[in-house]
Amino acid sequence: MCGRYGRWSRRQRIEELLGIEPSGLDDFAPLYNITPGVNTWIVRAKDGKPAIYPYLWGLVPYWSKDPKKGVRPVNAKAETTYEHPMFRKLIRERRCLIPADCYYEWKRTKIGKTPYCIRMVDESPFFIGGMWDVWHAREPEALFTFTVLTTLPNDVSVTVHDRMPLIVQPKDYARWLDRENADVTDILAPYPANGMVAYPVSRRVNDPKNDDAKLIEPEPV
């Protein structure tokens, strides 16, 4: 699964990577320990172009009777989304990109679970594939939420965990966000391992209250 990630790249950098005209809006606050249940930035299509919005991590389906009750998935298996009743409409029509600079997974070791930071070798930001929905659309209490797609691990991620977030390659950004393009099954694959690295980090990341750049510094095993 993917239950924790970091995003400290500036808004201007994210806009540049997606071909978005500079907005001039306030910069993103750097976050090194993003957890489910918080509002964070996602990218979805608006009028055929990518646009950035703050959505809540933890999907509330539009048909839910009460957003405080029932399952609020933070992850969804990419392999089964086209058949899953909760996700099959979203994977066709409501896909999003989630800006990230790293994600964390925990590896079982002799001394317990050790957190690992997994990121690009060149330290560049990347985009995780997700799906979004809106509960009570066009009403005052409308709630916009998203979930992260996961897939089988590549050769780097598998050394830590048996799943990894679906990282969308740059060549597929436009197709992923295009609501007219319902079939993205070929994109639902692990990101190439040769561009990624994984290393152990401080157990301070276990506590969501800790959120600083020291969380991504390598730690001896």
Q: What are the CA-CA distances from residue 97 to residues 56, 109, 160, 178, 210 (Å)? A: 14, 32, 24, 11, 25
Domain boundaries of the chain, sorted by first residue: 5-216
Q: pLDDT by residue (tens digit) across 20-79?
A: 988 777 788 999 999 999 999 999 999 999 999 999 999 999 999 888 887 899 999 999
- Find the catalytic residue in 2, 96, 102, 117: 2
Q: What are the CA-CA distances from residue 113 to residues 24, 44, 76, 107 (Å)? A: 42, 35, 23, 5
117 catalytic? Reply is no
Reported CATH class of domain 5-216 = alpha beta
The model scores a pTM over 0.75? yes
CA distance 54 to 48: 19
Q: Which runs of E-coded beta strand occur in the chain?
A: 5-7, 31-34, 39-46, 49-57, 75-77, 95-100, 102-109, 112-120, 126-135, 143-151, 164-165, 167-168, 196-200
CA distance 1 to 3: 6
Q: pLDDT by residue (tens digit) across 84-96?
A: 999 999 999 999 9
Q: What pLDDT, on a 0 to 100 scale, did the predictor assign at position 68?
A: 82
- Find the catalytic residue in 15, 96, 102, 105: 105
Q: pLDDT by residue (tens digit) across 94-103?
A: 999 999 999 9
105 catalytic? Reply is yes
User: Which amino acid is located at 161 in the chain?
Assistant: H
